[in-house]
């Protein structure tokens, strides 16, 4: 049995961090204006969920595919960072 089969994606620090970010984002989005629910809030939620989801999905693949899924997750993190900057510019924060 190879070492990868003995482990699960749930043991990966990067997956745990991604899940923590996703949960934090969910809490932050509760403070956004209601009219953003189907616009920026939705995009932020989807890309934050994409990060740990792609890590989990890629873990079940070959090493080469896993690297690809990690790249997708990294791209989602950059997307999230940009969207949070937009939200900051619009002053969507706790008051």
Q: What is the pLDDT of residues 8-31, one digit of tens each?
A: 999 999 999 999 999 999 999 999
Task: Please state, in angstroms and rounded to a whole number, the distance separating the CA atoms of residues 11 and 92.
Answer: 34
Q: How far is CA 65 from CA 10, 37, 59, in A?
A: 18, 33, 8
pTM as predicted: 0.86
Q: Can you give the residue ranges of every domain in the chain?
A: 12-89
Per-residue model confidence (pLDDT) at position 11: 95
12-89: what fold?
de novo design (two linked rop proteins) (1.20.1440)
| Mean pLDDT, range 24-51, rounded to an integer | 95
**Sorting pLDDT into bands at 50, 70 and 90, what band is 1?**
very low
Q: Quick one: DSSP state of residue 61?
A: S
């Amino acid at each position: 049995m190879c070492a990868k089969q003995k482990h699960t994606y749930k043991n990966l620090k990067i997956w745990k961090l991604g899940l923590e970010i996703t949960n934090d984002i969910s809490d932050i989005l509760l403070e956004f204006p209601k009219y953003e629910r189907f616009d920026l809030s939705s995009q932020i939620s989807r890309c934050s969920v994409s990060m740990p989801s792609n890590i989990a999905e890629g873990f079940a693949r070959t090493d080469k595919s896993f690297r690809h899924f990690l790249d997708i997750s990294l791209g989602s993190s950059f997307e999230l960072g940009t969207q949070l900057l937009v939200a900051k510019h619009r002053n969507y924060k706790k008051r």
